[in-house]
Structure 1
Amino acid sequence: MGPRLVFSAGEVPEIPAARLASIANEREPLLFWVHTGRAELQIGDRVRNVPAGAAVWVPAGIAYSIRVDPEAVAFPIPMPAADLPPTLNRIIDFEIPAAWQDWLVHQFAHNLGFLRGGTAVGAGLLELVAGAHAKKSGASVPHSPPRLPRSAETLEIARTLLRTPADDTELSQFARQLKIGVRTLQRRFTEETGLSFVRWRTSARIAAATAYLDAGREIGWTGGQVGFATPAGFTRAFREHTGMTPSAYARAHRGAAPIHENETLAQSVALLSEEGTQPRSAPIPPTISASGTWARVNDFHVVVWIYRGSARVTFGDRTWNLRRGDAMWLPAGVRNSVEIAEGSLLLPLGSQPGASPVAAPPPRVLHFAREAERYLLHTVVANYTHLRPEIHDPARISRLVRNSAAARPHGSRQSDPVETILGALRADPTDSRTLSEWSARLGVDENLLHQGFTEATGQSYPRWRAQLRMTLARAHLEEGLSAGETARRLGYAHASGFTKVFIAAHGMSPRAYQRRGWRGAAEGLIDS
């Protein structure tokens, strides 16, 4: 018998309209994407109608407001500013290919901060935005950039040369680096692009040169920047590929694509060149890599849902394998962790306060029909951002799942001592009392207390306390506290002792965790 169905297709609630009052991302650009239905994005006096499949790029510092139609689902996604070239400094309307939709949901999920590590924007998405930017700005590149090859090794070389056109690495050196034969690479370039490697690189350099000249750069500087040893060699190659000299081109196109002084031109050239290489097909989205959560002891009950693929949930001393559509109720106070398979998406549906598993229903797998997916996506956005209906109950789904999961009488007096200990340690994680000391303090037999604690949490008392401290440690580090201050708040005698325990649990130091151990949006539209 499979998991219990939460509600059938005919019982899925309607999706209400949603709104977001005026807000401006301070540091991170916004990618506003409409998954289904229609929305309006207002910037200043202009209102943009954004249909399903469309997106708007809004640079940091620009105020906007959003209205989403009933039965529509839209995602406000802050993008990591460190990954972006300065070219993307204006409002850009563009289309999101269907193949990119799951990757954008993945990017949104990482912004919520519950997954390990970070995720880069991805060159392909920048190609989509930069392509729209080029069309909007009127950039003129009469020399069509060379076609991108298809195979992984040749594509890697091509992208390298587009981003650094002056790179004079020989094909034989690339072959050694990639552990592939030189003849094989030569053959692939010819078969996949119609050009030999040498002619492909020259064509890419000329495409980069036209972008530099469009930006107003001096001809001699441009030739050297894209890799030509002499002005004569640059002029000869430029005329061969464009039918005119660099000076004639500069006179005809100067000022066609103005670029800010502080812009990295190489980034702009690469993006515009790569976009132009595949005019008839959208770039391929990055693979959604396997991910997961850190092991944690929550102070809230939470519901997780598998939107795509599969995942494995460990709760206490048990493990469950979840598939698409499955949801799981995870009570507070018990160690849990999630491992998400490659290409899969797990999203939190909501939570309820609660520091103890004693009075909560046990973990249980439930299932949502495919027809409920749009409503559940709407629920995730409404619960974890400020884009939500005017009247919104964030606990609706978690309460429904909790009631469906309830299958046993809740806590009894025999469980009260365990609940007392859990509450005391959450209130004061520096409390160093042993279970023996707790049994004396509460007047409960130590063996019975140990048994009750293990039954309630799935762990021994020392392991549970250590896991609680690591959960709180990550929260303190994410808030910007130092390792020393975090150690003090958690009851460690020395920062070095805390660091040693943290490294053993996470495989990285507290400082490294702050740099790369998690990724959460710092913007106010994400309600964390």
Structure 2
Amino acid sequence: MRADFLHSSVGWKRMHRRREGIVGPRLVFPAGEVPEIPAARLASTANEREPLLFWVHTGRAELQISGRTRSVAAGAAIWVPAGIAYSIRVDPGAVAFPIPLPAADLPPALNRVIDFEIPADWQDWLVHQFAHNLGFLRGETAAGAGLIELVAGVHSDGDDNSPSYSPPRLPRSAETLEIARTLLRTPSDDTELSRFAQQLKIGVRTLQRRFTEETGLSFVRWRTSARIAAATSYLAAGREIGWTGSQVGFATPAGFTRAFREHTGMTPTDYASANRRPTPPREDETLAQGVALLSEEGARSGSAPAPPTIPASGTWARVNDFHVVVWIYRGSARVTFGDRTWNLRRGDAMWLPAGVRNSVEIAEGSLLLPLGSQPGASPVTAPPPRVLHFAREAQAYLLHTVVANYTHLRPEIHDPARIARLIRSAAAVPLPSGDQADPVETILAALRKNPADSRTLPDWSARLGVDEDMLLKDFVAATGQSFPRWRGQLRMTLARAYLEEGLAAGETARRLGYAHASGFTKVFIAAHGMSPRDYQRRGWRGTVEGLIDP
């Protein structure tokens, strides 16, 4: 009965409509039914390569580090450099985020444990940073110069002999800020703006205009000002004038002296005499000019830096081998599943069955988080996609669920599939029962096991002994795509996973059944707008620490 019913595309669509018969999102956790948030803990661990920002969103937590227990209240954070062991305990009812940060964005001088406060307007940015660590969103994200300023500036030592030259104002848009971070880390970088524009895929004139509008300086003038500010740090630390000029990117001593006088009103020699610190320079001071610039910018403004705008983002189109639940914590998003699209708003959650192409586009300023998943590879036996809604009273519990499901900071007894089961049961309508294996399910399982399988749908029709036209209709009805397009999408989903694991393009091509690496590269570029190598460099961002569950 089940096989005959599902092998009719008309029957499948009729059942599909019946299963989606409830109009409007159903409310999950009605008033008074939101579960209590249990205590959570993380056993002693140490980030090997990335520093940790531990932030308490609500409630209270304790972080034990170097034999000392630090109490962390809501709104507070602790900066833990890589290589230092720590353990965490979170009180019942509290929500806390362990956030590894990309080490490449950070000056080496942030090499000590730091306690600081998180301004309220930074909270959504930190949730965005945490979400990017999970690796499901397109592209990279950086810590943000303002966050470095926030951490370093709070703990500036207030030395009256610190350099007096004001660094240039930091730009705010994502592209210009990325360029500024590069130049602050390496003031001698002489990359032309046209080259930056090419790397960022943005027009040169657009970058020029943004620098002027956001900083009051042209790009060339801004870079020179940043070099002079870095030079003041070196000179105050006792570095020689000739070495300093070369270190910050000036080709000749005369050029350095001329630019320095123009920006500070004095020669490098006079500046060094007036501002040199009485103690000899430490090694890390030669690497800390970025922190000096950003800390001084924060001190000059007299207030905490503004967070970067949360950019529009999204996922690559993918065919999952698991059912997943996504939730809109802030703003809005558009979900495409097969050949249909849903617009989600704050509080909405959506069940996305495995086996069907899906993608998500997230609006600027918005936050989408995964709540949980369940194993599964077939859309045939799964409930269809369904939108449900969570009241705002459930937000804290859902944030706790995200942290517990995707990091090792979790309750001692934790059910990672609880939300997924709850939403699946709310969306599900029983399917007709039967013992006969479904042909579409058989094909999906075989392709997942061996994506290099080159059999066509007619081959499968002959192999399974089913009508070819009927198989084609059933395949499209179940997956929303033709067989060749679905297989291509599956291969691209697996290709990204292999590349993220560090596999070379040639090995990835071989595993996926491409005869030549060049053919795979061509297909990959068409799907992603970048080569496999570029994807490994900047096409995704996931933490390298074991703190985050894959």
Give 1:389 shift.
0.5
Question: Mapping of 1:162-311 within 5 angstroms?
Answer: 163=184, 178=208, 211-218=233-240, 246-247=272-273, 249-250=275-276, 253-255=277-279, 258-260=282-284, 263-279=286-302, 281-311=303-333
Distance in structure 2 (CA, Å) of the matches to 1:259 and 1:463: 56
Which range is displaced more, 513-522 or 222-231?
A: 222-231
- Can you list the C-alpha shifts for 1:373-411, whole angstroms capped at 9, x where unaligned? 111111000000000000000000000010011135256
Distance in structure 1 (CA, Å) of the matches to 2:258 and 2:536: 51
SS in 2 for 1:22: strand
Question: Mapping of 1:3-402 within 5 angstroms?
Answer: 3-135=25-157, 139-141=159-161, 146=166, 163=184, 178=208, 211-218=233-240, 246-247=272-273, 249-250=275-276, 253-255=277-279, 258-260=282-284, 263-279=286-302, 281-402=303-424
Amino acid at match of 1:276: A
- Can you list the C-alpha shifts for 1:121-165, whole angstroms capped at 9, x where unaligned? 111111111113423xx5444665549769979xx7997999488
Aligned pair in 2 of structure 1 residues 256, 392: CA closer, same or farther (>3 Å)? Answer: farther
SS in 1 for 2:32: helix
Amino acid at match of 1:247: S
Which residue of structure 1 lines up, in the alignment, with residue 438 of structure 2? Answer: 416
Give 1:367 shift.
0.4
Distance in structure 2 (CA, Å) of the matches to 1:175 and 1:434: 49
Give 1:249 shift.
4.0
Checking the alignment, whether the CA contact within 8 Å between 1:239 and 1:245 is kept in structure 2 is no
Give 1:206 shift.
8.3
Distance in structure 1 (CA, Å) of the matches to 2:182 and 2:381: 61
Match of 1:501 among 507, 523, 527: 523
SS in 1 for 2:419: helix
Q: If the length of structure 2 is used for normalisation, what is the TM-score?
A: 0.82
Distance in structure 1 (CA, Å) of the matches to 2:524 and 2:423: 34
Match of 2:495 among 456, 470, 473: 473
Distance in structure 1 (CA, Å) of the matches to 2:371 and 2:207: 45
Distance in structure 2 (CA, Å) of the matches to 1:444 and 1:161: 60
Give 1:273 shift.
2.4
Aligned pair in 2 of structure 1 residues 70, 340: CA closer, same or farther (>3 Å)? Answer: same
Amino acid at match of 1:178: Q
Which residue of structure 2 lines up, in the alignment, with residue 516 of structure 1? Answer: 538
* Structure 1: segments with no counterpart, 5+ residues: 169-173, 190-197
Distance in structure 1 (CA, Å) of the matches to 2:164 and 2:146: 19
Give 1:212 shift.
3.0
Aligned pair in 2 of structure 1 residues 176, 495: CA closer, same or farther (>3 Å)? Answer: closer
Give the aligned length.
505
Amino acid at match of 1:255: T
Distance in structure 1 (CA, Å) of the matches to 2:247 and 2:546: 41
Give 1:240 shift.
8.3
- Can you list the C-alpha shifts for 1:90-117, whole angstroms capped at 9, x where unaligned? 1111111111111111111111000111
Give 1:459 shift.
1.1
Distance in structure 1 (CA, Å) of the matches to 2:40 and 2:161: 42
SS in 2 for 1:11: coil
- Can you list the C-alpha shifts for 1:52-89, whole angstroms capped at 9, x where unaligned? 11111111111111111111111111111111111111
Amino acid at match of 1:405: A
Amino acid at match of 2:500: E
Amino acid at match of 2:411: P
- Can you list the C-alpha shifts for 1:12-60, whole angstroms capped at 9, x where unaligned? 1111111111111111111111111111111121111111111111111
Amino acid at match of 2:38: P
Which residue of structure 2 lines up, in the alignment, with residue 459 of structure 1? Answer: 481
* Structure 2: segments with no counterpart, 5+ residues: 1-22, 191-203
Checking the alignment, whether the CA contact within 8 Å between 1:175 and 1:181 is kept in structure 2 is no
Distance in structure 1 (CA, Å) of the matches to 2:464 and 2:225: 80
Checking the alignment, whether the CA contact within 8 Å between 2:260 and 2:266 is kept in structure 1 is no
SS in 1 for 2:156: helix
Distance in structure 2 (CA, Å) of the matches to 1:265 and 1:517: 29
Checking the alignment, whether the CA contact within 8 Å between 2:338 and 2:479 is kept in structure 1 is yes
Give 1:180 shift.
9.7
- CA RMSD in angstroms comes to 3.8
Which range is displaced more, 501-510 or 327-336?
A: 501-510
Checking the alignment, whether the CA contact within 8 Å between 2:146 and 2:305 is kept in structure 1 is yes
SS in 2 for 1:99: helix
Which residue of structure 1 lines up, in the alignment, with residue 9 of structure 2? Answer: none
Checking the alignment, whether the CA contact within 8 Å between 1:53 and 1:96 is kept in structure 2 is yes
Aligned pair in 2 of structure 1 residues 368, 500: CA closer, same or farther (>3 Å)? Answer: same
Aligned pair in 2 of structure 1 residues 419, 411: CA closer, same or farther (>3 Å)? Answer: farther
Amino acid at match of 1:347: L
Give 1:217 shift.
2.6
Give 1:271 shift.
2.3
Which range is displaced more, 330-339 or 124-133?
A: 124-133
Distance in structure 2 (CA, Å) of the matches to 1:102 and 1:134: 25
Amino acid at match of 1:268: V
Which residue of structure 2 lines up, in the alignment, with residue 193 of structure 1? Answer: none
Distance in structure 2 (CA, Å) of the matches to 1:64 and 1:348: 27
Give 1:120 shift.
1.3
Checking the alignment, whether the CA contact within 8 Å between 2:233 and 2:289 is kept in structure 1 is no
Identity %: 72
Distance in structure 1 (CA, Å) of the matches to 2:491 and 2:205: 49
Distance in structure 2 (CA, Å) of the matches to 1:290 and 1:63: 35
Q: If the length of structure 1 is used for normalisation, what is the TM-score?
A: 0.85
Checking the alignment, whether the CA contact within 8 Å between 1:147 and 1:278 is kept in structure 2 is no
Aligned pair in 2 of structure 1 residues 414, 11: CA closer, same or farther (>3 Å)? Answer: same
Aligned pair in 2 of structure 1 residues 147, 247: CA closer, same or farther (>3 Å)? Answer: closer
Distance in structure 1 (CA, Å) of the matches to 2:102 and 2:316: 22
Amino acid at match of 2:468: E
Distance in structure 2 (CA, Å) of the matches to 1:29 and 1:218: 32
Amino acid at match of 2:140: G
Which residue of structure 2 lines up, in the alignment, with residue 192 of structure 1? Answer: none
Checking the alignment, whether the CA contact within 8 Å between 1:214 and 1:254 is kept in structure 2 is no
SS in 2 for 1:418: helix
Distance in structure 1 (CA, Å) of the matches to 2:289 and 2:491: 46
